[in-house]
Amino acid sequence: MALLELRDIHKTYHLGGETIRALDGVSLDIDSGEFISIIGPSGSGKSTLMHILGCLDSPTSGTLRLDDTMIHDASSRQLASIRNKKIGFVFQFFNLLPKLTVRQNVELPMIYSGHSGKERRERAMTALRRVNMEDRSKHRPSQLSGGQQQRTAIARALVNDPRIIFADEPTGNLDSHTGELILEMFDQLHNEGRTVMLVTHDPEIAAVTPRRIEIRDGKIANEADPTLAGKAPRFEQITNSEAKPTT
Amino acid sequence: MNFGTVIQSGIKEIGAHWFRSLLTMFGVICGVASLVTMAAFVKGKENLLRESLAETGGLEKITVESEDDLPDYQKHLEGEAKGVTLKDVYALQAGAPMVHDITPSINKSRYRGYLRVSRKGRGARPWMLQGTWPSALEIQEHEIEHGRMFTMMDDLLANNVCVIGTEIRNSLFDEMDEQGETIIPIGERILINYVPFTIVGMFKEYMSDEDRKKKEAAKAAGETRSRRNMFSRGGDSNTRRTQYIYYQKNNAIMVPLNTLVAKLDSSYETGSVLDRKLSEITMKIEDVSLLSPSLQQVRNVLMRTHKGLEDFEFETQEEFADDITLAIHNERVSGMFIAGICLLIGGIGIINIMLSSISERVREIGICKSVGATTMDVFTQILIESVVLAVAGGLAGLAISPILVNTLASLADDTTPPIMTTQAMLIAFGFSALIGSLAGLFPAIKAAKLDPIQALRYD
Ligand SMILES: Nc1ncnc2c1ncn2[C@@H]1O[C@H](COP(=O)(O)OP(=O)(O)OP(=O)(O)O)[C@@H](O)[C@H]1O
Ligand SMILES: [Mg+2]
Number of the ligand 1 atom closest to the C-alpha atom of A49 = 18
Pairing mode, strands B117-119 and B189-192? antiparallel
Residue whose CA lies nearest to ligand 1 atom number 26: A42
Residue B229 makes CB contacts below 8 A (sequence gap 6+) with none
- The whole-angstrom separation of Cα B139 and Cα B120 is 33
Domain that residue B259 falls in = 59-316
A4-240 fold: Rossmann fold (3.40.50)
> Among the three residues B268, B289, B316, which one is the final residue of a domain in this structure?
B316
Contact A56 B368 (CB under 8 A): no
- The whole-angstrom separation of Cα A55 and Cα B297 is 83
Tell me: do B191 and B86 sit in the same domain.
yes
Q: What is the mean pLDDT of residues A229-239?
A: 39
Q: Which residues in chain A have their CB less than 8 angstroms from residue B1's CB? A: 111-112, 114
Residue A233, pLDDT above cutoff 50: no
Ligand nearest to the CA of A45: 1
Say if ligand 1 is within 6 A of residue A22 CB. yes
3-class DSSP assignment, residue B165:
coil
- pLDDT score, position B112: 66
Q: Which residues in chain B have their CB less than 8 angstroms from residue A84's CB? A: 371-372
- pLDDT score, position B1: 63
- Residue B65 backbone phi and psi in degrees, to 5: -110, 155
What tens digit of pLDDT does each residue of A45-83 get?
999 999 999 999 999 999 999 988 999 889 999 999 999
pLDDT band of residue A239 (cuts 50, 70, 90) is: very low
- pLDDT score, position A223: 67
Contact B371 A81 (CB under 8 A): no
What long-range pairs does B334-338 form, CB within 8 A, spacing at least 24? B335/B34, B335/B35, B335/B38, B335/B39, B335/B41, B335/B42, B336/B35, B336/B38, B338/B34, B338/B38
Tell me: do B243 and B335 sit in the same domain.
no
- pLDDT score, position B238: 67
- pLDDT score, position A151: 92
Q: Pick from B371, B375, B456: which is nearest to A84 by CB?
A: B371
Q: A41 CA distance to ligand 2 centroid (A)? A: 9
pLDDT averaged per 10 residues in sequence order, chain B, 459 residues: 76 84 89 90 85 80 86 81 88 91 88 81 89 91 93 92 94 86 91 93 87 78 52 60 85 93 72 80 87 89 88 84 85 87 90 92 93 92 92 93 89 77 91 92 94 86
3-class DSSP assignment, residue B227:
helix
Q: A15 CA distance to ligand 1 centroid (A)? A: 12
Q: A50 CA distance to ligand 2 centroid (A)? A: 9
Pocket test for ligand 1, best of A15, A23, A47 (most atoms within 8 A of CB): A47
> How far lies B9's CA from each of A108, A208, B2, B3, B6, in Å?
12, 42, 11, 10, 5
Residue A199, pLDDT above cutoff 70: yes
- pLDDT score, position A194: 94
Tell me how close the Cα of B355 comes to any Cα of chain A, in angstroms: 19
How many separate domains does chain B show? 2
> Among the three residues B258, B290, B316, which one is the final residue of a domain in this structure?
B316
Tell me: do B386 and B268 sit in the same domain.
no
The pTM for the full model equals 0.73
Contact A91 B373 (CB under 8 A): no
Tell me: do B253 and B116 sit in the same domain.
yes
- pLDDT score, position B269: 60
Q: What is the mean pLDDT of residues A194-223?
A: 89
3-class DSSP assignment, residue A166:
strand
Tell me: do B338 and B271 sit in the same domain.
no
What tens digit of pLDDT does each residue of A123-182 get?
999 999 999 998 999 999 999 999 999 999 999 999 999 999 999 999 888 888 888 888
Nearest to B391 by CA among B346, B360, B352: B346
> For B306, which DSSP code?
T
> Among the three residues B256, B291, B316, which one is the final residue of a domain in this structure?
B316
Tell me how close the Cα of B367 comes to any Cα of chain A, in angstroms: 6
Put simply, whether A116 touches B (Cβ < 8 Å) is: yes
Q: A43 CA distance to ligand 2 centroid (A)? A: 7
pLDDT band of residue A29 (cuts 50, 70, 90) is: very high
| Sign of the C-alpha dihedral computed for residues B119, B125, B131 and B134 taken in this order | negative
Q: How many CB atoms lie within 10 A of CB A45?
A: 26
Report the amino acid identity of residue A104.
Q
Tell me: do B312 and B332 sit in the same domain.
no
Tell me how close the Cα of A103 comes to any Cα of chain B, in angstroms: 15
CA B112 from chain centre, in angstroms, equals 31
Residue A240, pLDDT above cutoff 50: no
Residues near ion ligand 2 (CB < 5 Å) are A 47
Residue whose CA lies nearest to ligand 1 atom number 18: A45
Pocket test for ligand 1, best of A9, A38, A46 (most atoms within 8 A of CB): A46
Tell me: do B250 and B362 sit in the same domain.
no
Closest-CA residue of chain B to A81:
B372
- The whole-angstrom separation of Cα B102 and Cα A174 is 102
pLDDT band of residue A242 (cuts 50, 70, 90) is: very low
Number of the ligand 1 atom closest to the C-alpha atom of B457 = 1
- The whole-angstrom separation of Cα B149 and Cα B126 is 18
Nearest to B98 by CA among B291, B294, B301: B294
Nearest to B254 by CA among B140, B170, B171: B140
Say if ligand 1 is within 6 A of residue A45 CB. yes
Number of the ligand 1 atom closest to the C-alpha atom of A92 = 27
Contact A95 B456 (CB under 8 A): yes
